[in-house]
Amino acid sequence: MKFFIDTADVAEIRDLAATGLVDGVTTNPSLIAKTGRDFFEVLGEICGLVDGPVSAEVAATDAETIVAEGRALAAVAPNVVVKTPLTPDGLKACRTLTEEGTPVNVTLCFSAAQALLAAKAGAAYISPFIGRLDDIGADGMQLVHDITELYGAQPEIETQVLVASVRHTMHVVDAAKMGADVATLPPKVLRGMFDHPLTDKGLEAFLADWRKTGQSILSGTAKGRAAE
């Protein structure tokens, strides 16, 4: 499973990209607004920080303007993926941009039927928003299950399932088990995946015991050197 980072915070992206675990980035208008910065400037910087796909969302709602905005965003860098909404106009624009060679991430997907339409429109990615479904008492993971099953049953579909609106570690683990291609993670969720109290406790005990030996791995020991 690929991990994308769901943020427009350049410092966060730089920091997490250094882990070697980040395959791409997703942004949306809310995340861009949070930075308080110029969209094109931020997008250019993000695209320079990661080799993988960087999703940038259009703000128009009619197909013609969505296509125009998509072209402008795609011109920023070769790794830009244009995000279009799951509406009739959004899918019409998805078809046009895809035919022009620009990959499209169809966003705001809340049903398997919508995911089927996005695949038909040639989307490179479909983004089911699982956390927002959980928020209203629905089952976000069930949607991921339905889409992976549906896409799996239709061999001609090449659209990748990009699990979005991820809230916690188990969303990621469950989505991976279901065969989703990508999960886009808020930085806090990615960092949280490292955590386990037994890892911290175990490491502390190993280091305490190691200190008692008085040895240093890099400099070697007197005993070790004598044996050489």
Q: So which residues are the catalytic ones?
A: 83
* Nearest distance in Å: CB 64, ligand E4P: 23
Q: Tell me how far, at minimum, the Cβ of 67 lies from ligand E4P, in Å.
A: 20
| Site for ligand E4P contains 160 (CB under 6 A) | no
* Residue of closest CB approach to ligand E4P: 165
Instruction: Restricting to residues 68-127, name those near ligand E4P by CB under 6 A.
Output: 107, 127
Query: What CA–CA distance (Å, rounded) separates 24 from 69?
Result: 21
Q: Would you count residue 148 as binding ligand E4P (CB under 6 A)?
A: no
Residue 107 or 148: the one with the smaller Cβ distance to ligand E4P is 107
Closest CA to 25 of 91, 128, 105: 105
Q: Does 9 bind ligand E4P (CB under 6 A)?
A: no
Q: Does an H or E element contain 111, and which? A: none
The single residue listed with the structure tokens 């175990």 is 202
**26 binds ligand E4P, rule: CB under 6 A:** yes
CB of 177 to ligand E4P, least distance (A): 19
- How many amino acids of this chain bind ligand E4P (CB under 6 A)? 11
What are the phi and psi torsion angles at 141 (to 5°)? -65, -30
Which x/- pattern, by CB under 6 A, does the window 164-203 give for ligand E4P? Answer: xx------------------x-------------------
The only residue of 3, 16, 22, 28 in contact with ligand E4P, by rule CB under 6 A: 28
When asked if residue 6 is in the footprint of ligand E4P (CB under 6 A), the reply is: yes
- Angstrom distance (rounded) from CA 162 to CA 90: 17
Least CB distance to ligand E4P at residue 131 (A): 5
Q: How far apart are CA 35 and CA 50, in angstroms?
A: 18
Nearer to ligand E4P, 7 or 98 (CB): 7
8 A C-beta contact, residue 77 and residue 53: no
Helix-strand-coil split of the chain, %, nearest 5: 50, 15, 30
The reply to whether 52 sits near ligand E4P by the rule CB under 6 A is no
Q: How far is CA 188 from CA 4, 7, 62, 159, 191, in A?
A: 13, 10, 34, 27, 5
The CA-based dihedral angle spanning residues 176, 135, 89, 36, taken in that order and rounded to the nearest 10 degrees: -90
Contact by Cβ (8 Å): 85, 107: yes
CB of residue 163 to ligand E4P, shortest distance in Å: 9
Site for ligand E4P, rule CB under 6 A: 6, 26, 28, 107, 127, 129, 131-132, 164-165, 184
